[in-house]
Amino acid sequence: MSRASKQEQPDEAHQWPASVDKATVEAMGKLSEALETTERARGHLYAFHQLTGGADLALGDAVRLLREAGHEEAAGLLETEVVGRNVIPGHWTFQIIEAYNATYYRPFAAVEEKIRGDLVQGREHLYEAWMKEDRRTHGHPDHTARP
């Protein structure tokens, strides 16, 4: 097979196994989309965690600066009522992330991996690979199937 014709075919990891039909590929595409959305939600939790932690550290600086400026009562109120406070009852943000990972994210990722293994030989992004083949201009140098 020439290099040009090889570039016109998706690599094996992005070709449907012979036993897989379009309906299964579409279902796997929707499952992949759901997991990717969950990955984004998880990223937002980490952003929430880091932003809240950064805010709490800045509050510590505000307490120090208020004290240096002679505002002990305001510094004490801020320190007692806000610095180090739980973001929801009994939880700091790291505990929310840990609970999310254990309760939802890891089980979801494990089930997705099992279904993908069972139905499409573990291959990822088959729906997207099908879309690429359907949408690209075959023969165009900037529309090759492979890198």
Angle ∠(87,88,91) on CA atoms, nearest 5: 80
Residue range 122-137, pLDDT digits in tens: 999 999 999 999 999 9
Distance CA 32, CA 25 (A): 10
* Cα torsion angle, 109, 111, 115, 121, sign: positive
Give the pTM.
0.84
- Per residue in 64-123, pLDDT (tens digit) is 999 999 999 999 999 999 999 999 999 999 999 999 999 999 999 999 999 999 999 999
